[in-house]
Amino acid sequence: MESWANLDFHLDLSGPGGLRHRLTASLREAVRSARLPPGTRLPASRSLAADLGIARNTVAEAYAELVAEGWLTARQGSGTVVAQRVSPPAPVKRQALGPDVRFDLTVSTPDITEFPRTEWIRSTRRALMAAPSEAFGPGDPQGRIELRTALAEYLARARGVRADPERIVVCSGFADGIRMFNRLLKPPTVVEEYGLGFHQSLWKSTVPLKVDDHGANTEQLPDDRRVCVLTPAHQFPLGGPLHPLRRASAVEWARRVGGLVLEDDYDGEFRYDRQPVGAVQGLDPEHVVYLGTSSKALSPALRIAWMVLPDRFVDPILSLKTDREQYSSMLDQLALADFLSSGAYDSHVRRMRFKYQRRRDRLVEAVSPYASVSGIAAGMHAVLDTPYEAEIVQTAFERGIEVSPLSGFRHELSDDDRTGIVVSFGAPAFPRALPLFTEVLAACH
């Protein structure tokens, strides 16, 4: 039996009629809607009257009326209880819009079932015990100094980023960071011809940059543009790293036109065949903005990302962060700072790197009779090169599997005609979905 005696509960006493009528109606509706579920013990009439600031007799009379109607029961020594025979309303059944998607293999999230809960709890406990009292206030729009310090050390060591805490701004996600630059600069922008639709839609007058096995062809960057968005470590979604000469070319272009490269390092830690490719930002911190996120290595639920900015952009960016809802949770920032400093982040990345590599190998082996696979040296997804893009996507959907067509990532102004399927082997559903997906490939070839 649930007790309500020490719980707060909202009762709306507004509306027409006398006070007793309004109280009775409010209690009746609370029971009918299951806000007060069967078996809940209501407070004594004296207690409820004191809480509501009304006469005890008014509450007693309302209880008596609801007992008579069967909504409540009252027994000597047991108090007033919501009747067991009262059932909550049946859930609304909505018509399905299509086949149930049982297996999501789109390139959206890492394997969130592997979130390091035990280690995160330890970091959270340590961080909260060590946190100064001011950490529980509104917070610094630039981000907690503990996290910025830990990030500066980690990014320099693991990604070759040239950073100090004063150049780092913490934001609530990669999209949040890009939106701030969009508000600040608003120029015509160059994006890779294959990439996130978000990149293409946010910036006005975007033009596509050709992409091949060596990444984006930065030698073709036009001098009449000032901003370029790149995914150098692992081109999204085709998968190749940006060639060293093209890295240098991107930086030279930014210097020549007084422009800026926005470097999206969304999964740079996950490289399998050789050492991770370092950040372009290390070549010129004054012309490259480095953007990283915790969403791939840990979880998108954390809502923590970071920007390493040229010095001249720190204050202008911070001036845009005037609303508190744009801040990432300061307590999560403290926990992540400890997670990085303690080495738990490195351990988790190494463990997941090994797990994803094994999944990648399983995917390549399973699909090899039907399609060649590219973009697999890094990351958590692969591209299956096949002319049967539309057939595979549709057949997979009919069997409860969602995958992404390669053409869906192509810029609308691109004249490239490659087709294929983008499959996430990092997705939680991948191990169970692979046999069925292989059957789909066989049926379409």
**What stretch(es) of the chain map to CATH 3.40.640.10?**
117-342
User: Can you give the pTM of this predicted structure?
Assistant: 0.81
Residue written as token pair 């000032």: 226
Residue written as token pair 């294959």: 194
**What stretch(es) of the chain map to CATH 1.10.10.10?**
19-82
Domain 117-342 classified CATH 3.40.640.10? yes
- Rounded to the nearest 5°, which phi and psi values hold at 402? -110, 120
Residues whose CB falls within 8 Å of the CB of residue 218, separated by 6 or more in sequence, listed in order: 209, 228, 230, 242, 246, 247, 249, 250, 253
DSSP letter for 368, please: T
**What stretch(es) of the chain map to CATH 3.90.1150.10?**
103-111+347-444
Contact 188, 207 (CB under 8 A): yes
CA distance 213 to 374: 10
Contact 254, 245 (CB under 8 A): no
CATH class of residue range 19-82 = mainly alpha
Q: Which of 262, 436, 283, 295 is nearest to 366 (CA)?
A: 436
Q: State the DSSP H helix or E strand holding residue 398, giving kind and residue range, or none if neither.
A: helix 389-398
CA distance 135 to 153: 21
* CATH superfamily of the 103-111+347-444 domain: Aspartate Aminotransferase, domain 1 (3.90.1150.10)
What string of pLDDT tens digits covers the 445 residues of the chain?
445 555 666 788 887 888 898 899 989 888 888 888 888 888 888 888 888 889 999 999 999 899 888 888 987 777 889 888 645 545 555 444 445 678 999 987 789 999 999 999 999 999 999 999 999 988 889 999 999 999 999 999 999 999 899 999 999 888 888 888 888 887 778 999 999 877 777 666 788 999 998 999 999 999 999 999 999 999 999 998 999 999 999 999 999 999 999 999 988 889 987 777 889 999 999 999 999 999 999 999 999 999 999 999 999 999 888 655 456 889 999 999 999 999 999 999 999 999 999 999 999 999 999 999 998 999 999 999 999 999 999 999 999 999 999 999 998 888 999 999 999 999 999 999 999 999 999 999 8
Contact 184, 177 (CB under 8 A): no
What are the angstrom distances between the C-alpha of 116 and each of 137, 305, 351, 426? 27, 18, 10, 16
